Structure 1
Amino acid sequence: MIKAVVVDDERLVRKGFISLIDWSSFGVVIVGEAGDGNAALSLLLEQETDLLFVDLTMPGMSGFELIRQVRQRFPAIRCVVLTCHHEFDYVQEALRLGAVDYIVKTLLEVENADETIRRLVERVKWEDSTRELLARGEGRVVAADLALIYLPRLQGGSEEELFQLAVTKNNPLITIQDMWMTPLLSRFTVDEACLEFTRILGGRWRAALVSGLRDRQLQEVEDVLGKTLRQALFYYSGAEEPARLNFGELKRMAGERHPAGEEILAEGLNLRWTLDHEAWEVFTSRVQQLQPGHEHITAFSQSLLQDWSRLILKAEESEQLEISVTGNLNWYPWKNWLRQFSGCVQRRMLELGLSKEVMFCLIRAVRFMRTHAGDKINQGDVAAEINMSRGYFSQCFARFAGETFGESLRSMRLELAKTLLLETHYPVCEIAGKSGFEDDRYFSRLFREHVGKLPSEYRAEGMER
């Protein structure tokens, strides 16, 4: 029998919950109850317990704190949340602390109580069988060569969805960090599972079929998958779903670091790949080879939008690219996104009637100006940097930027000043110098003219936010 304890500060609610369910029909016996967290901890010291139902909003020790202490002091006990709160963030915090499931008290009726407890008891039995199957000798090892790994594509994926799959009803389901693993201990047909996975979970989850796991320590498997699985799936080029991966290859990936992956993205900010086909092929193939993290790819795209939304991208193009970012869950949609960005750059070049080389020189000029906005640079310095005559550069730049060189550099310097005002404690007079302005009084007057307030007022309002 599964021994359970109910903890709720409202006695009538506690008694009502206990009397609502025919516990013995599920192999559960209520061995105790408590009205607060401290009483519950005292009871657990005396009474062997498998399952603890915990109300979250109790006076004194909250349900969150009780779950935290139970996980530390009685790690074999599973905690189930009793709550009136159905908000995801509220329940998610309890699950993060180690609760295995939750029950919304206001939604629990005679009609659905049995199904709720049946689901919970099945989960406990599955986890018990998992522990037995994974325990060999002193360590815990994976007893199967193949395992299915499930990852939610977006935040909010619940493991409850996974229990709808037949494969999880015939094999254990193990939580590994923010993913779940089913070692395939019973007979398993990949094609049938793929069809079931697609039909039930649709696009909400991604799965990987990992081989080479037999007799691996579970801790090693957890460490390696935590470090590499999302990265491997991000760059996975196969057509199969679930993706086919080998644990040995994942372990090799875990031991490698590719700082050059981040370097290739930093180099890509020069936009040469947007104008030249050969540069495009080199850039995209190097990204796929060096595999910078998906978070670095996302940051790279945000930099492109931030840097070029006004100078190159039209408002509607920028908006469309911003919207499509959220749907890029692996490298191949990202590659298409970069191709769209490249198309925008080339259309802008044709509209301006510029050659590829001149367009690239102007992009270089803007990047140089932004990098050195705080230095004493002028139009001649920038023209020399990109190997153009000053007169021709002035003409091309005005066409490209829609304003003169001086106006553009001044805007960059004011943006730099805004950043320094909010992110440093330098006095205003020093910020003027660091932003490229020699006269702090002129700087303050110009800042108010363009921003609508004095630098000191801008800083004060920013600190209040």
Structure 2
Amino acid sequence: MIKVLVVDDDRLARRGIIAEMPWDAFDMKVVGEANNGENALEFLRSEEVDLLITDLAMPIMSGLDLMREVQRLYPKIWFVVLTFHQDFELIQEALRIGAIDYIAKTQIEDARMEEVLERISERIRRSQEASLPNAERRSAEPTAAADSMLVYIAGAGQADFGALWQHTSMQGQTIQEVSLGLWTVLPEREMTDEDVAAMKRELVELGLERQVTVLHIRGIRDTDREQLRQRLLRYKEISLFYERKPGVFYYEYTAGRLQVEYPGWSDEELRRNRDAWSSLHWIVRTGAYEELLQEIERARPSAAQLANLFYTARMSWVRISREEAGIEEEMPGTGALWSEWTGWLNAVRGKLRAIVAKSAYSEEIAQSIMSAVDYINLHLEEDIRHSDLAKQANMSKGYFSQCFKEIVGRTFHDYIRDARIENAQLLLAETKQPIYRISEQCGYANEKYFSRVFREQTGRLPSEYRQEKAKV
């Protein structure tokens, strides 16, 4: 019997899941429920649970933070996440942490509960299997004859290894599943360079080099195995994103290397870095750009946080000569590596720098104009005066207007109008604020005038735009 704990801050959704799912048909039983992460942890202190089903967006403690804490305290619990279809980045983050599956709430609404539980039950069954083809799995803590281990990490969407178990490096070895898609192999003897070369060659022949990352961890003999497992989980969640390079699937590390911890970003640090990237100084100042990249590599925020950051910041970038810059192309997709993100950023920066260079103004003038653009982006709700920004840039009003248009690609007033309308579109699509409030936040004290300008620029009234987006 698989004991289930359901965690969701929406009481009706939580009760609906508990009441409607055919738990008995799959040998499952709901033994508890909680409305937030802290209450879930309190329940786990006194009750045994095999499967934790949690919403991702909750107050007090998010579903992702709950998973990380449960993984640390109760590593044998399986995770399934509840989400809406638009939470794609969060889903990928949950899978990196170790979730075995996710339930889209629309599946429950569409009466597909049996299909959902059957899929989850099958994945649990797979991870519970006592044996694998040509490989031994032991429940007792293994001892290694060698001072190293191999770690196989499945790529995104590749949790079922298939042909990997036929790989010669797996034959007759002690294999342990650390989490879904993360396996350790303890070789019977120390691997030679020839062994490593043969292993890599066979992985390529089997077509697995794009599906798995292989870590060869040395110096494990005196390492606490439980701590090592936790470090491997952390590596899979965070460091793999930063350290794997395109076309390279084999890496050699020492056990001590895995002890390095990275701070990540708090919500406040994410906001601060989002503002820094939304600023345009990094376009003209190489030092500023390098500092921003170094901050990311120092802290190693999650891939989901970076996707959130760059999605928001890009809105500021595309306002500069968008037709000419061509930076509205797709960002790196889910599963992309940090090296792919930096490649994309370098390309975007190159295009924007080329536009600034065309203006033939000095870097000092370009920075002054970028400062003006930053001010506009951060003060859209205020009365932004042309003369005030010109004075701040130590330019005459006329010269400031000329520089602004040639560097940014639009007149000062057109840029402000477009920035306000784009901000209004975002607020209309993603919030339920009344239109008069959105009008004020976008610098229009008169709602009727705001609606007229919005219609002139988009072809729709604000109310029509909101209704249209609600259908998507």
With structure 1 as the length reference, what TM-score do the two structures score? 0.65
Alignment partners' CA distance in 2, 1:460 and 1:247:
55
Partner of 1:198: 204
The aligned amino acid for 1:195 is: R
1:343-358 map, 5 Å? 343-358=350-365
Instruction: Please give the alpha-carbon distance, in whole angstroms, between the structure 2 residues aligned to 1:412 and 1:300.
Output: 18
- Please report how far the alpha carbon of residue 143 of structure 1 lies from its aligned counterpart in structure 2 after TM superposition: 7.8
Structure 2 residue identity aligned to 1:308: W
Change (3 A) 1:281 1:167: same
Which residue matches 1:22?
none
Match of 1:322 among 326, 330, 334: 330
| Paired residue secondary structure (1:245) | strand
Q: Which residue in 1 is equivalent to 2:257?
A: 249
SS in 1 for 2:138: helix
Comparing 236-245 and 271-280, the one that deviates more: 236-245
Aligned residues: 366
User: CA contact under 8 A between 1:150 and 1:181: conserved in structure 2?
Assistant: yes
**What's 1:376 paired with?**
383
Contact 1:432 1:440 in 2 (8 A): yes
Residue in structure 2 matched with residue 152 of structure 1 by the alignment: 154
CA displacement at 1:258 relative to structure 2: 5.8
Q: Deviations along 1:147-174, whole A, 9 cap, x unmatched?
A: 2222233323422232131112222333
Q: Residues 307 and 265 from structure 1, CA distance in 2 versus in 1: closer, same or farther, beyond 3 angstroms?
A: closer
Question: Cα offset for 1:270?
Answer: 2.9
* Equivalent residue letter for 2:461: L
The equivalent position to 1:176 in structure 2, one of 143, 168, 178, is 178
What are the equivalent positions in structure 2 for 1:276-355 lying under 5 Å apart? 276-312=285-321, 314=323, 317-318=326-327, 322=330, 325-326=332-333, 329-355=336-362
Letter of the 1:334 counterpart:
W
Give the residue type in structure 1 aligned to 2:172.
N
Counterpart for residue 125 of structure 2: 99
Matched, 1:415 2:415: no
Match of 1:166 in 2: 168
Change (3 A) 1:280 1:194: same
Q: Which residue of 1 aligns with 2:109?
A: none
Q: Could you tell me whether the CA contact under 8 Å between 2:277 and 2:310 is conserved in 1?
A: no
Q: Equivalents in 1 of 2:177, 2:447: separation in Å?
A: 59
Within 2, Cα distance between the matches of 1:223 and 1:288?
Answer: 21
CA RMSD of aligned residues (A): 4.0
Distance across 1 between alignment mates of 2:146 and 2:24: 36
Inter-partner Cα distance in structure 2 for 1:269 and 1:444: 27
Q: TM-score, normalised by structure 2?
A: 0.64
Q: Structure 1 counterpart of 2:126, which letter?
A: V
Alignment of 1:446-465 (within 5 A): 446-465=453-472
**Displacement after TM superposition at 1:123 (Å):** 0.9
- In structure 2, what is the Cα distance between the partners aligned to 1:316 and 1:391? 26
More helix by share: 1
Q: Does 1:429 align with 2:436?
A: yes
Return the letter of the residue paired with 1:164. Answer: Q
From the superposition, tell whether residues 93 and 307 of structure 1 become closer, same or farther in structure 2 (CA, over 3 Å): farther
> How far, CA to CA, are the matches of 1:192 and 1:98 in structure 2?
33
Structure 1 CA distance for aligned equivalents of residues 335 and 403 of structure 2: 35
Q: Tell me the residue number matched to 1:4.
A: none
Q: Deviations over 1:185-240 (max 9, x none)?
A: 31333332233233321222222122343465554333322223443333438998
- Are the equivalent residues in 1 in contact too, given 2:405–2:411 (CA < 8 A)? yes
Q: Partners in 2 of 1:409 and 1:395 — Cα distance?
A: 15
Matches within 5 A, 1:205-284: 205-214=212-221, 218-236=225-243, 241-253=249-261, 256-257=263-264, 262=270, 266-284=275-293
Seen in structure 2, the aligned counterparts of structure 1 residues 180 and 421 have a Cα distance that, compared at 3 Å, is closer
State the 1:369 CA deviation.
1.1
In 2, are the aligned partners of 1:171 and 1:184 still within 8 Å (CA)?
A: yes
Deviations 1:85-107 (A, max 9, x none): xxxx97993367502189xxxxx
Cα pair distance change 1:167/1:422, threshold 3 Å: same
- CA change 1:312–1:447 in 2 (3 A) is closer
Q: How far apart are 1:144 and its partner, in Å?
A: 6.0
In the alignment, is residue 66 of structure 1 matched against residue 31 of structure 2?
no
User: Over residues 111-147 of structure 1, what are the superposed CA-to-partner deviations in whole Å (9 max), with x where a residue is unaligned?
Assistant: xxxxxxxxx99617745x3224x26xxxxx8786422
State which of 131, 135, 143 in structure 1 corresponds to 2:139.
Answer: 131
C-alpha separation in 1, matches of 2:204 and 2:269: 33
1:64·1:97 contact (CA, 8 Å) conserved in 2? no
CA distance in 1, matches of 2:25, 2:397: 68
Q: 1:429 to 1:91 in 2, by over 3 A?
A: closer
TM-fit CA distance, 1:412: 2.0
Alignment partners' CA distance in 2, 1:91 and 1:205? 27
Q: In 1, distance between residues paired with 2:463 and 2:289? A: 45
Partner letter of residue 322 of structure 1? E
Distance 2:265 2:440 in 1: 39
Q: What is the CA-CA distance between 1:66 and the residue it aligns to?
A: 0.7
CA distance in structure 1 between the partners assigned to 2:412 and 2:325 by the alignment: 26
Given residue 412 of structure 2, which amino acid in structure 1 is its aligned partner? F
| CA shift in 2, pair 1:271/1:439, >3 Å | closer
CA contact (8 A) 2:321 2:410 kept: no
**Corresponding position of 2:58:** none
Segments of structure 2 that go 5 or more residues without pairing to the other structure are 2-19, 31-48, 52-75, 77-114
* Structure 1, unpaired ranges of 5+: 1-40, 42-59, 76-88, 103-119, 136-140
Residue in 1 aligned with 2:11? none
Equivalent-residue separation in structure 2 for 1:387 and 1:93 (angstroms)? 65
Q: Are the structure 2 counterparts of residues 273 and 447 from structure 1 closer, same or farther at C-alpha, using a change threshold of 3 Å?
A: closer
Give, in whole Å, the separation in 2 of the partners of 1:391 and 1:420. Answer: 34
Asked whether the 8 Å contact 2:146–2:186 carries over to 1, the reply is yes
- 1:257: Cα distance to partner? 4.8
Residue 184 of structure 2 aligns to a residue whose secondary structure is strand
Contact kept in structure 2, 1:394 and 1:404, CA below 8 Å: yes
Structure 2 distance, partners of 1:246, 1:343, is: 38
Which amino acid counterpart does residue 222 of structure 1 have in structure 2? Answer: R
3-state SS of 1:131 partner: coil
